[in-house]
Each structure stands twice: as structure tokens, then as C-alpha cells.
């Protein structure tokens, strides 16, 4: 496993090194070019903020995730964030006989990310490197108990209201994303510790300016030894469901095994509504072919950049 993590680190360095080299080369351009770029970037640099709330529900229970973060855009291309999530779980495995559901609210791992965004041959490209910091053991908060890393890349094009895209990356486990969140990896009923590669391909269509619909197919390919931590089955619960269709996270709080216990693939569909400034409402459905399991979700994404710049007098 250590060799895999080292390989993961080498790949990250290989990707990010050219980014900084390009940044240094661009700083050597003529002064007139720098002035025009600075004028275009004046509104993109400075402090940023966001808040995200997601509710996922299925016949196996519900996972409700809220995350807030603050950050800073150093240039029009490069920035970073720090944040923390909170989870509320609606589990059917209640230890109280006169309650149908067991409700639990716990924090998750704080996270730090670095973002790089650019345009390449008419395409929009974003790369995000995220690290998570464990603040306790898996029995106390929603965590794997280990430091986590996620390298995520997004490439999209725009053609008359049609936006095809591909996403790809690698991680040391599953992680809820807050920069360009995807339906298949937000508010899961489980969390995985173990190296994996992941990808997604899809398309969205803009309708009447403020609305869009989209669909995608995704896959998670794990390698080596894996640990799966359930968010539905509590550590102190003697009650659990079955593990049919590889749903080990429905049968025990912690499962250790080979790569098949963390594998996943499926598809998603969603509708975006952006009628209110800085707020996007997304509703959709994700179906996991591997787990034979579907879930509906509702996500609210608030861009607080204008607010924090007003409060800090940096707008």
C-alpha cells in the first residue's frame, strides 16, 4: 500500500510541476500583456467562500451533508480553500425499539484544497488537489481515521448550450467533494479507505438560461486492500441489514477486504436551477449498478464570494 501512495504522490507532483512552470513562464511576458491580464483578473482574485447542503435518501435511509469553506484566489487561475463538513444520518437500524429511525449528527474530516483553472484549446479545465485531516477515530466522527488525498480533474466544452464533460482522478479513498461536486460521490451512506481511480463522462443541456439538465456514467476502480466504513450501521449497533449485491456498508460498521468491496459503477441524472443570484439548486437521481441501489438527492450550492468580499471590504 505504501508503494501505491508513493506512486500517487509522484503522479501529483508530475501534474502540478508544469502548472507552476507555466505560471513562471507567463510572468516573463511583456508588460503590456501583464497589464491586460491584470485588468481582466481584478474581479477574480481575493477571498472566496461557499456553503453546500446535500440530502440523499433511499429505501435504506438518508444521509444529509452540510459543508462550508473559505478560500483565496491568488491569481485568476490558482486558489485554495479550507472547510469542514457536518453529517446527519437517518439510519433504519435503531437500537430503541419504539423508534423507526436512528438519527446521528457528527462532524467529518476538515479539508484543504488547491485549485487550478484554465482554458485549453477552447475547453475549460480544472484540477483540484484535496487533503483531509482526521480529528478523531472512526468510532467518534465520520472519518477513516487516516489522512486522505484526492486528485480530481474536470474538462468540459461548450457548444450552443450543450456541455459535454469528462472527470477523472485518483484518491486514497472516497471523499465528498465541494469543488465541482458530483452526484455519485456526495452524501454516500459509506466511506472507503484505500487507493482508487475514478472517472465520469456526461453531458448537460442549458434550457432558458437559468435551467439545465444533465446525465452521466461513472466508475470507481479500487486497487489493493480496502476498508469500508458504514454511515448507516453505528459502531455500537447490534442491528444491521444484509450484504446483498455487495452492500457491505449495509451489513457492518467496518468491512475489510480486497478491491471488490469498494468497487462501484453506475449513472446519474439531474436538473439544475439557478434563478437566484449565487445560489444553485440541483435535484437528481443516482443508480449504482454494482450495488443494485438507487438514491434521490437535493443539493443547494451557495457562492458566498460576493458576501465575504463585501464584509472584508475587498470587493
The cell numbers describing 6, all together, are 508513493
Among the ranges given (75-89, 129-143, 229-243), the one the predictor scored with the smallest mean pLDDT: 129-143
d(CA 59, CA 255): 22
User: Based on the number of CB atoms within 10 Å of its own CB, is 53 exposed (0-12), middle (13-18) or buried (19 or more)?
Assistant: middle
What is the chain's mean pLDDT, rounded? 86
Share of the chain above pLDDT 90, in %: 69
Residues 6 or more apart whose CB falls under 8 angstroms from that of 147 comprise 131, 132, 133, 134, 172
Task: Specify the residue for cell string 436538473.
Answer: 271
Share of the chain above pLDDT 70, in %: 85
Q: Is the pLDDT of residue 192 over 50?
A: yes
Q: For the beta carbon of residue 100, count every other beta carbon within 10 angstroms.
A: 8
pLDDT band at 15 (very low <50, low <70, confident <90, very high): very low
Among the ranges given (26-35, 184-193, 301-310), the one the predictor scored with the smallest mean pLDDT: 26-35
pLDDT of residue 3: 46
pLDDT band at 16 (very low <50, low <70, confident <90, very high): very low
CATH code, 2-311: 2.40.160.40
Q: What is the pLDDT of residues 95-122, one digit of tens each?
A: 776 567 889 999 999 999 999 999 988 8
Q: Cα-flanking dihedrals φ and ψ of residue 35, to 5°? A: -65, -40
d(CA 253, CA 229): 6
d(CA 90, CA 102): 6
Q: Is the pLDDT of residue 37 over 50?
A: no
Q: Cα-flanking dihedrals φ and ψ of residue 263, to 5°? A: -70, 150
Amino acid at each position: 500500500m505504501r508503494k501505491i501512495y508513493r506512486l500517487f504522490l509522484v503522479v501529483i507532483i508530475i501534474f502540478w510541476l508544469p502548472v507552476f512552470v507555466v505560471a513562471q513562464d507567463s510572468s516573463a511576458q511583456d508588460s503590456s500583456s501583464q497589464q491586460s491580464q491584470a485588468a481582466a483578473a481584478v474581479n477574480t482574485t481575493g477571498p472566496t467562500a461557499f456553503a453546500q447542503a446535500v440530502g440523499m435518501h433511499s429505501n435504506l435511509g438518508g444521509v444529509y451533508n452540510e459543508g462550508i469553506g473559505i478560500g483565496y484566489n491568488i491569481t485568476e487561475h490558482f486558489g485554495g480553500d479550507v472547510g469542514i463538513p457536518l453529517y446527519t444520518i437517518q439510519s433504519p437500524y435503531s437500537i430503541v425499539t419504539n423508534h423507526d429511525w436512528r438519527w446521528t449528527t457528527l462532524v467529518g474530516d476538515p479539508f484543504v484544497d488547491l485549485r487550478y483553472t484554465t482554458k485549453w484549446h477552447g475547453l475549460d479545465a480544472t484540477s483540484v488537489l484535496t487533503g483531509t485531516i482526521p480529528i478523531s477515530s472512526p468510532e467518534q466522527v465520520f472519518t477513516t481515521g487516516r489522512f486522505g488525498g484526492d486528485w480530481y480533474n474536470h474538462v468540459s466544452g461548450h457548444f450552443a448550450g450543450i456541455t459535454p464533460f469528462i472527470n477523472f482522478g485518483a484518491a486514497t479513498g472516497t471523499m465528498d467533494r465541494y469543488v465541482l461536486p458530483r452526484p455519485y460521490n456526495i452524501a454516500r451512506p459509506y466511506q472507503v479507505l484505500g487507493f482508487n481511480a475514478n472517472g465520469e463522462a456526461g453531458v448537460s443541456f442549458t434550457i432558458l438560461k437559468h435551467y439545465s439538465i444533465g446525465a452521466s456514467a461513472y466508475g470507481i476502480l479500487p486497487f489493493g486492500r480496502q476498508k469500508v466504513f458504514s454511515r448507516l450501521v453505528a459502531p455500537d449497533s447490534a442491528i444491521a441489514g444484509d450484504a446483498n449485491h455487495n452492500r457491505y456498508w449495509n451489513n457492518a460498521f467496518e468491512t475489510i477486504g480486497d478491491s471488490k468491496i469498494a468497487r462501484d459503477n453506475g449513472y446519474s441524472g439531474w436538473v439544475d436551477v439557478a434563478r437566484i443570484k449565487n445560489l444553485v439548486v440541483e435535484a437528481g437521481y443516482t443508480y449504482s449498478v454494482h450495488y443494485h441501489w438507487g438514491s434521490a438527492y437535493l443539493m443547494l450550492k451557495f457562492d458566498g464570494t460576493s458576501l465575504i468580499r463585501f464584509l472584508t471590504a475587498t470587493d
